[in-house]
Amino acid sequence: MSDLKEISAIVDAVGRTVIGVIINESKTTLTMKNPVIVHVQPDPQSGQLQVQTFPYLFMEFIDGDKQSNEWTFNKANIVTSTVKLTPQITAQYHAINNPAPAQPAQAEEPEVIQLFGADGEDA
């Protein structure tokens, strides 16, 4: 995994829970690398809570180095936390930011139908 630093959680200005690696912090700002939004909603059928994670900005929209996805938040507009995140949510974070390379689909060998025998006669 590319980031071995601890993943932190904040709540941004519009109330979204955001997790990411803090790479820079000053008195007034906090910069996160590869932030991910954590969205929790009830399943309409079961009532159970579902947790969805997705990037703050999808990698497909980034031109150039996709690993330099850094966002700076004004501390006056966020809420910080010292919670320690579970391995399940950090695994989702890493899966989003370090996707496994797509495996090419293996072509299945077509079935060979022998029309003629070895001597050229009908099979």
Q: Is position 79 within any domain?
A: yes
Global model pTM greater than 0.75: no
| pLDDT tens, position by position, 36-93 | 999 998 888 888 998 899 888 887 777 877 677 899 999 999 999 999 999 999 999 9
Q: What is the domain-level CATH number for residue 51? A: 2.30.30.100
Name 51's Cβ contacts closer than 8 Å, sequence gap at least 6.
38, 39, 40, 89, 92
50: containing domain: 7-97
Q: In total, how many domains does the chain have?
A: 1
